[in-house]
Amino acid sequence: MSPFPTDMIPNILCRLPVKTLLRFKCVSKPWGSLIDASHFVKSHLHQSLKTNNNVKLFLDNGAEIDDNAYAVDFDSLNNLVQFPRPFTAEITKYRSRIIGSYNGLLAVYHREEGIALWNPSTRKCHYLPALDEDISMDHDTIPGYNYDNSTILGFGYDKITEDYKVVKMLRSKTQNCFKVTIYSQKSNTWRRIKDCPYDIPINYNDGAYVNNAIHWVGDEILSGRNVIFGLHLNTEEYLEVPEGKRSSEDKKCGAYYCEGFSYMNVGVLGGCLCVSRDFSSCPIEDHVNIWVMKEYGVKESWTELLYLSRNQWVTNIFHTRAVGYARDGNKVLLDDGGGQQPAWFNLEDESSHLLCIPGAPQLVSTIIYVESLVSVS
Protein backbone atom coordinates (compact mmCIF):
# COMPACT_ATOMS: atom_id res chain seq x y z
CA MET A 1 0.00 0.00 0.00
CA SER A 2 1.45 3.35 -1.03
CA PRO A 3 1.92 5.99 1.69
CA PHE A 4 -0.67 8.76 2.01
CA PRO A 5 0.54 11.84 0.05
CA THR A 6 1.49 14.51 2.57
CA ASP A 7 0.71 17.32 0.15
CA MET A 8 -2.98 16.39 0.49
CA ILE A 9 -3.04 17.01 4.24
CA PRO A 10 -3.48 20.81 4.16
CA ASN A 11 -6.27 20.49 1.60
CA ILE A 12 -8.12 18.05 3.86
CA LEU A 13 -7.51 19.90 7.12
CA CYS A 14 -8.75 23.25 5.79
CA ARG A 15 -12.23 21.71 5.46
CA LEU A 16 -12.50 20.82 9.14
CA PRO A 17 -14.08 22.89 11.92
CA VAL A 18 -11.86 24.93 14.24
CA LYS A 19 -12.55 22.76 17.30
CA THR A 20 -11.24 19.69 15.47
CA LEU A 21 -8.17 21.53 14.18
CA LEU A 22 -7.25 22.69 17.67
CA ARG A 23 -7.27 19.08 18.82
CA PHE A 24 -5.23 17.99 15.79
CA LYS A 25 -2.46 20.43 16.71
CA CYS A 26 -1.42 17.84 19.29
CA VAL A 27 -1.02 15.05 16.73
CA SER A 28 2.52 16.12 15.85
CA LYS A 29 4.77 19.17 15.71
CA PRO A 30 4.48 19.42 11.90
CA TRP A 31 0.67 19.42 12.14
CA GLY A 32 0.77 22.01 14.91
CA SER A 33 3.07 24.25 12.88
CA LEU A 34 0.89 23.83 9.79
CA ILE A 35 -2.35 24.75 11.58
CA ASP A 36 -0.69 27.82 13.14
CA ALA A 37 0.81 29.00 9.83
CA SER A 38 -0.70 32.21 8.39
CA HIS A 39 -1.16 30.68 4.93
CA PHE A 40 -3.18 27.81 6.40
CA VAL A 41 -5.30 30.21 8.50
CA LYS A 42 -6.15 32.11 5.27
CA SER A 43 -6.89 28.90 3.37
CA HIS A 44 -9.19 27.63 6.10
CA LEU A 45 -11.03 30.95 6.26
CA HIS A 46 -11.35 31.10 2.46
CA GLN A 47 -12.78 27.57 2.37
CA SER A 48 -15.37 28.39 5.05
CA LEU A 49 -16.46 31.59 3.29
CA LYS A 50 -16.61 29.90 -0.13
CA THR A 51 -18.76 27.00 1.06
CA ASN A 52 -20.71 29.02 3.66
CA ASN A 53 -19.80 26.38 6.25
CA ASN A 54 -18.82 26.94 9.87
CA VAL A 55 -21.22 29.91 10.09
CA LYS A 56 -22.46 30.63 13.61
CA LEU A 57 -25.18 32.79 15.14
CA PHE A 58 -23.87 34.57 18.22
CA LEU A 59 -26.46 35.17 20.96
CA ASP A 60 -25.61 38.15 23.17
CA ASN A 61 -27.72 38.21 26.34
CA GLY A 62 -29.30 41.66 26.44
CA ALA A 63 -31.56 41.39 29.45
CA GLU A 64 -29.75 39.46 32.18
CA ILE A 65 -26.45 39.60 34.02
CA ASP A 66 -24.63 36.71 32.38
CA ASP A 67 -20.89 35.99 32.12
CA ASN A 68 -21.49 33.46 29.37
CA ALA A 69 -21.96 33.93 25.64
CA TYR A 70 -23.85 31.52 23.38
CA ALA A 71 -23.69 30.41 19.76
CA VAL A 72 -25.45 27.95 17.47
CA ASP A 73 -25.01 26.76 13.90
CA PHE A 74 -26.78 29.41 11.87
CA ASP A 75 -28.36 27.05 9.33
CA SER A 76 -29.75 24.47 11.72
CA LEU A 77 -29.94 26.55 14.94
CA ASN A 78 -28.59 23.44 16.69
CA ASN A 79 -25.37 22.58 18.58
CA LEU A 80 -25.67 25.25 21.24
CA VAL A 81 -22.34 26.12 22.87
CA GLN A 82 -21.52 28.55 25.62
CA PHE A 83 -18.22 30.13 26.58
CA PRO A 84 -16.97 32.81 29.00
CA ARG A 85 -17.18 36.42 27.85
CA PRO A 86 -14.09 38.67 27.69
CA PHE A 87 -15.62 41.03 30.27
CA THR A 88 -17.48 39.95 33.40
CA ALA A 89 -21.01 41.20 34.03
CA GLU A 90 -21.26 42.05 37.71
CA ILE A 91 -24.62 43.42 38.75
CA THR A 92 -23.13 46.82 39.64
CA LYS A 93 -21.22 47.09 36.34
CA TYR A 94 -22.13 47.82 32.77
CA ARG A 95 -22.74 44.93 30.41
CA SER A 96 -20.51 44.45 27.40
CA ARG A 97 -21.81 44.20 23.83
CA ILE A 98 -20.55 43.01 20.45
CA ILE A 99 -19.89 45.97 18.13
CA GLY A 100 -18.92 44.04 15.01
CA SER A 101 -17.75 40.81 13.43
CA TYR A 102 -15.39 40.02 10.57
CA ASN A 103 -13.45 36.87 9.57
CA GLY A 104 -14.28 35.20 12.86
CA LEU A 105 -13.14 38.07 15.10
CA LEU A 106 -15.64 39.86 17.32
CA ALA A 107 -15.03 43.33 18.73
CA VAL A 108 -16.43 43.60 22.27
CA TYR A 109 -17.12 46.91 24.05
CA HIS A 110 -17.46 47.47 27.79
CA ARG A 111 -18.16 51.02 28.91
CA GLU A 112 -15.79 50.95 31.88
CA GLU A 113 -13.27 48.26 30.93
CA GLY A 114 -12.62 49.14 27.28
CA ILE A 115 -12.61 47.13 24.04
CA ALA A 116 -11.33 43.65 23.19
CA LEU A 117 -10.81 41.67 20.00
CA TRP A 118 -12.11 38.17 20.62
CA ASN A 119 -12.09 34.94 18.65
CA PRO A 120 -14.76 32.77 20.30
CA SER A 121 -13.72 29.75 18.21
CA THR A 122 -10.16 29.69 19.56
CA ARG A 123 -11.16 31.30 22.91
CA LYS A 124 -8.38 33.87 22.41
CA CYS A 125 -8.83 37.50 23.44
CA HIS A 126 -6.75 40.67 23.09
CA TYR A 127 -7.58 43.74 25.21
CA LEU A 128 -6.95 47.00 23.38
CA PRO A 129 -4.80 49.70 25.01
CA ALA A 130 -6.55 52.68 26.60
CA LEU A 131 -7.02 55.98 24.78
CA ASP A 132 -4.82 58.96 25.56
CA GLU A 133 -6.11 60.96 28.52
CA ASP A 134 -6.50 64.21 26.58
CA ILE A 135 -9.19 62.51 24.46
CA SER A 136 -10.87 60.36 27.10
CA MET A 137 -11.06 63.22 29.63
CA ASP A 138 -12.86 65.40 27.08
CA HIS A 139 -15.52 62.74 26.50
CA ASP A 140 -19.05 64.03 27.17
CA THR A 141 -20.30 60.80 28.74
CA ILE A 142 -23.99 60.09 29.15
CA PRO A 143 -25.23 57.70 31.87
CA GLY A 144 -26.74 54.49 30.52
CA TYR A 145 -26.22 50.78 30.12
CA ASN A 146 -26.49 50.35 26.37
CA TYR A 147 -26.15 52.61 23.34
CA ASP A 148 -25.70 56.34 23.77
CA ASN A 149 -25.15 59.17 21.32
CA SER A 150 -21.84 60.29 22.82
CA THR A 151 -19.89 57.07 22.08
CA ILE A 152 -20.04 55.84 18.48
CA LEU A 153 -18.26 52.59 17.58
CA GLY A 154 -17.41 50.41 14.61
CA PHE A 155 -15.22 47.46 13.63
CA GLY A 156 -13.90 46.40 10.23
CA TYR A 157 -11.01 45.17 8.13
CA ASP A 158 -8.79 47.30 5.89
CA LYS A 159 -8.39 44.96 2.93
CA ILE A 160 -5.64 47.09 1.41
CA THR A 161 -3.28 46.87 4.38
CA GLU A 162 -4.81 43.62 5.75
CA ASP A 163 -5.36 45.21 9.14
CA TYR A 164 -8.30 44.88 11.55
CA LYS A 165 -9.41 48.28 12.82
CA VAL A 166 -11.73 49.69 15.48
CA VAL A 167 -13.21 53.18 15.19
CA LYS A 168 -14.24 55.11 18.28
CA MET A 169 -15.96 58.51 18.10
CA LEU A 170 -16.32 60.48 21.33
CA ARG A 171 -18.53 63.53 21.66
CA SER A 172 -16.38 66.39 22.94
CA LYS A 173 -17.27 68.39 26.05
CA THR A 174 -15.42 71.47 24.83
CA GLN A 175 -16.07 71.38 21.06
CA ASN A 176 -19.20 70.82 19.00
CA CYS A 177 -17.91 67.67 17.31
CA PHE A 178 -16.98 64.02 17.60
CA LYS A 179 -13.28 63.41 18.14
CA VAL A 180 -12.36 60.26 16.21
CA THR A 181 -9.67 57.70 16.94
CA ILE A 182 -8.84 54.54 15.02
CA TYR A 183 -7.15 51.42 16.37
CA SER A 184 -4.83 49.30 14.24
CA GLN A 185 -4.31 45.66 15.16
CA LYS A 186 -0.96 45.61 13.34
CA SER A 187 0.52 48.43 15.41
CA ASN A 188 -1.62 47.81 18.53
CA THR A 189 -2.11 51.57 18.89
CA TRP A 190 -4.84 54.20 18.72
CA ARG A 191 -4.36 57.21 16.44
CA ARG A 192 -6.35 60.42 16.21
CA ILE A 193 -7.81 61.25 12.78
CA LYS A 194 -9.91 64.15 11.53
CA ASP A 195 -13.11 64.95 13.41
CA CYS A 196 -16.39 63.54 12.16
CA PRO A 197 -18.25 66.08 9.97
CA TYR A 198 -21.65 64.67 11.00
CA ASP A 199 -23.69 64.70 14.18
CA ILE A 200 -25.28 61.50 15.50
CA PRO A 201 -28.20 62.63 17.68
CA ILE A 202 -29.72 59.12 17.88
CA ASN A 203 -27.67 55.93 18.18
CA TYR A 204 -29.38 52.54 18.07
CA ASN A 205 -26.61 50.32 16.71
CA ASP A 206 -22.92 50.19 15.92
CA GLY A 207 -21.27 50.80 12.57
CA ALA A 208 -21.87 48.55 9.56
CA TYR A 209 -18.80 47.41 7.60
CA VAL A 210 -19.19 47.21 3.81
CA ASN A 211 -16.77 47.94 0.95
CA ASN A 212 -13.79 48.78 3.18
CA ALA A 213 -15.76 51.43 5.08
CA ILE A 214 -17.76 51.56 8.31
CA HIS A 215 -21.18 53.21 8.05
CA TRP A 216 -23.53 55.01 10.42
CA VAL A 217 -26.65 57.16 10.27
CA GLY A 218 -26.22 60.84 11.13
CA ASP A 219 -27.17 64.43 10.38
CA GLU A 220 -25.28 67.09 8.47
CA ILE A 221 -24.16 69.58 11.11
CA LEU A 222 -25.24 72.73 9.24
CA SER A 223 -28.40 71.61 7.43
CA GLY A 224 -29.55 68.84 9.78
CA ARG A 225 -30.22 66.59 6.77
CA ASN A 226 -30.46 62.92 7.73
CA VAL A 227 -27.86 60.85 5.83
CA ILE A 228 -26.03 57.54 5.69
CA PHE A 229 -22.30 58.17 5.89
CA GLY A 230 -19.15 56.10 6.12
CA LEU A 231 -15.50 56.25 7.07
CA HIS A 232 -13.11 54.55 4.64
CA LEU A 233 -10.65 52.49 6.67
CA ASN A 234 -7.70 53.01 4.31
CA THR A 235 -7.99 56.64 3.18
CA GLU A 236 -9.64 57.69 6.46
CA GLU A 237 -11.93 59.96 4.47
CA TYR A 238 -15.63 60.39 5.23
CA LEU A 239 -18.10 59.59 2.49
CA GLU A 240 -21.83 60.00 1.98
CA VAL A 241 -23.87 57.12 0.61
CA PRO A 242 -26.30 58.20 -2.16
CA GLU A 243 -29.92 58.12 -1.10
CA GLY A 244 -32.57 56.02 -2.84
CA LYS A 245 -36.19 56.90 -3.57
CA ARG A 246 -37.94 58.78 -0.81
CA SER A 247 -41.02 56.57 -1.04
CA SER A 248 -42.11 53.19 -2.33
CA GLU A 249 -44.03 52.84 -5.58
CA ASP A 250 -46.54 50.64 -3.74
CA LYS A 251 -47.35 52.21 -0.37
CA LYS A 252 -48.57 49.28 1.70
CA CYS A 253 -49.80 51.62 4.43
CA GLY A 254 -52.32 53.10 1.97
CA ALA A 255 -51.36 56.70 2.67
CA TYR A 256 -51.48 59.13 -0.25
CA TYR A 257 -48.47 61.00 1.12
CA CYS A 258 -45.95 59.04 3.13
CA GLU A 259 -42.43 60.26 2.45
CA GLY A 260 -41.41 61.77 5.78
CA PHE A 261 -39.04 59.33 7.45
CA SER A 262 -35.76 59.19 9.32
CA TYR A 263 -33.03 56.60 8.97
CA MET A 264 -32.64 54.43 12.05
CA ASN A 265 -30.35 51.42 11.78
CA VAL A 266 -27.76 50.76 9.10
CA GLY A 267 -26.53 47.21 8.72
CA VAL A 268 -25.23 44.48 6.43
CA LEU A 269 -27.48 41.90 4.77
CA GLY A 270 -26.08 39.32 2.37
CA GLY A 271 -22.91 41.40 2.03
CA CYS A 272 -24.92 44.50 1.04
CA LEU A 273 -25.53 47.73 2.92
CA CYS A 274 -29.07 47.94 4.31
CA VAL A 275 -31.00 50.53 6.29
CA SER A 276 -34.31 50.79 8.12
CA ARG A 277 -36.57 53.78 7.51
CA ASP A 278 -38.78 54.91 10.38
CA PHE A 279 -42.26 56.07 9.30
CA SER A 280 -43.64 56.72 12.80
CA SER A 281 -45.31 59.89 11.44
CA CYS A 282 -47.36 58.00 8.85
CA PRO A 283 -51.02 59.16 9.00
CA ILE A 284 -52.34 55.61 8.46
CA GLU A 285 -50.11 53.33 10.56
CA ASP A 286 -46.67 53.42 12.15
CA HIS A 287 -44.29 51.29 10.12
CA VAL A 288 -40.70 50.61 9.17
CA ASN A 289 -39.26 49.73 5.74
CA ILE A 290 -35.95 47.96 5.27
CA TRP A 291 -34.07 48.78 2.06
CA VAL A 292 -31.00 47.03 0.62
CA MET A 293 -28.34 48.61 -1.62
CA LYS A 294 -27.73 45.79 -4.09
CA GLU A 295 -24.72 47.48 -5.72
CA TYR A 296 -22.62 49.60 -3.38
CA GLY A 297 -22.58 53.30 -4.20
CA VAL A 298 -25.23 53.02 -6.94
CA LYS A 299 -28.28 55.09 -6.03
CA GLU A 300 -30.59 53.18 -8.36
CA SER A 301 -29.74 49.83 -6.73
CA TRP A 302 -31.63 50.61 -3.50
CA THR A 303 -34.43 48.02 -3.26
CA GLU A 304 -37.22 47.83 -0.71
CA LEU A 305 -37.00 44.44 1.03
CA LEU A 306 -39.78 44.39 3.59
CA TYR A 307 -42.50 46.36 5.38
CA LEU A 308 -43.23 46.10 9.10
CA SER A 309 -46.21 47.71 10.82
CA ARG A 310 -46.44 48.22 14.55
CA ASN A 311 -49.68 46.24 14.82
CA GLN A 312 -48.46 43.24 12.83
CA TRP A 313 -44.87 42.84 14.00
CA VAL A 314 -43.94 40.71 16.99
CA THR A 315 -41.17 42.88 18.47
CA ASN A 316 -40.07 46.53 18.78
CA ILE A 317 -40.11 47.63 15.14
CA PHE A 318 -38.41 51.01 15.62
CA HIS A 319 -35.12 49.48 16.73
CA THR A 320 -35.34 46.68 14.16
CA ARG A 321 -32.16 45.72 12.33
CA ALA A 322 -31.56 43.00 9.79
CA VAL A 323 -29.15 40.25 10.87
CA GLY A 324 -29.02 37.80 7.98
CA TYR A 325 -30.84 35.71 5.38
CA ALA A 326 -31.68 32.08 5.97
CA ARG A 327 -29.78 29.72 3.66
CA ASP A 328 -32.75 29.43 1.26
CA GLY A 329 -33.01 33.22 1.06
CA ASN A 330 -36.74 33.20 1.87
CA LYS A 331 -36.46 34.49 5.44
CA VAL A 332 -34.63 37.32 7.19
CA LEU A 333 -33.64 37.30 10.86
CA LEU A 334 -34.42 40.59 12.60
CA ASP A 335 -33.74 41.83 16.12
CA ASP A 336 -33.88 45.08 18.05
CA GLY A 337 -30.53 44.99 19.84
CA GLY A 338 -31.41 42.75 22.78
CA GLY A 339 -34.50 44.23 24.43
CA GLN A 340 -36.90 41.86 22.69
CA GLN A 341 -36.85 38.36 21.24
CA PRO A 342 -35.41 38.15 17.68
CA ALA A 343 -37.79 36.98 14.97
CA TRP A 344 -37.81 35.53 11.47
CA PHE A 345 -39.65 37.41 8.71
CA ASN A 346 -40.81 35.34 5.74
CA LEU A 347 -40.30 37.34 2.55
CA GLU A 348 -42.82 35.27 0.56
CA ASP A 349 -45.94 35.29 2.74
CA GLU A 350 -44.85 38.09 5.16
CA SER A 351 -45.44 35.88 8.19
CA SER A 352 -43.21 35.96 11.26
CA HIS A 353 -42.20 33.76 14.16
CA LEU A 354 -39.95 34.29 17.15
CA LEU A 355 -36.46 32.81 17.37
CA CYS A 356 -36.37 30.15 20.10
CA ILE A 357 -33.15 28.34 20.99
CA PRO A 358 -33.64 25.75 23.79
CA GLY A 359 -31.15 26.35 26.61
CA ALA A 360 -30.20 29.87 25.46
CA PRO A 361 -31.45 33.26 26.68
CA GLN A 362 -34.46 34.49 24.72
CA LEU A 363 -33.95 38.27 24.84
CA VAL A 364 -30.72 38.52 22.86
CA SER A 365 -28.89 40.62 20.34
CA THR A 366 -27.64 38.46 17.48
CA ILE A 367 -24.72 38.64 15.08
CA ILE A 368 -23.40 36.23 12.47
CA TYR A 369 -19.77 35.14 12.46
CA VAL A 370 -17.70 32.47 10.75
CA GLU A 371 -15.49 30.13 12.76
CA SER A 372 -11.85 30.83 12.01
CA LEU A 373 -8.29 30.54 13.28
CA VAL A 374 -7.60 34.27 12.75
CA SER A 375 -5.35 35.71 15.44
CA VAL A 376 -6.62 38.40 17.79
CA SER A 377 -3.25 40.18 17.90
H runs (alpha helix) in 52-185: 133-136
Beta strands (DSSP E) in 148-257 are: 151-158, 163-171, 178-184, 189-196, 198-199, 208-210, 213-220, 226-232, 238-240
pLDDT digits (tens, 9 = 90+) for 243-258: 887 665 555 655 545 5
Q: Which candidate, 320, 301, 321, 317, places its Cα nearest to that of 309?
A: 317
CB 50 within 8 A of CB 43: no
pLDDT digits (tens, 9 = 90+) for 57-84: 999 886 667 778 899 999 999 999 998 8
CB 119 within 8 A of CB 41: no
How far is it, in rounded angstroms, from Cα 212 to Cα 228?
15
- The C-alpha angle with vertex 290 and arms to 250 and 73, in degrees rounded to 5, equals 135
Residue 273's SS3 state is strand
**297 vs 38, 198, 218, 347, CA distance in Å?**
33, 19, 17, 25
Q: Report the pLDDT value the prediction gives residue 89, as an integer from 0 to 100.
A: 66
H runs (alpha helix) in 64-192: 133-136
Higher-pLDDT residue of 134 and 149 is 149
Does residue 112 register a pLDDT over 60? yes
- Domain segments of the chain as ranges: 1-52, 53-368
How far is it, in rounded angstroms, from Cα 339 to Cα 97?
13
Higher-pLDDT residue of 328 and 281 is 328
Note if the pTM is more than 0.85.
Answer: yes
Q: Say which DSSP state 172 is in.
A: B
Paired sense of beta strands 124-127 and 208-210, if any: unpaired
Q: What is the DSSP string of 6-51?
A: GGGHHHHHTTS-HHHHHHHTTT-HHHHHHHHSHHHHHHHHHHHHHH
Task: Tell which CATH classification among 3.20.20.70, 3.30.1340.30, 2.120.10.30, 1.10.287.3510 matches the domain 53-368.
Answer: 2.120.10.30
| CA 294 remoteness from chain centre | 18
Q: Report the pLDDT value the prediction gives residue 92, as an integer from 0 to 100.
A: 47
How far is it, in rounded angstroms, from Cα 262 to Cα 217?
9
Give 164: exposed, middle or buried? Use CB within 10 Å, 0-12, 13-18, 19+: buried
| CA 202 remoteness from chain centre | 18
Average pLDDT, the chain: 86
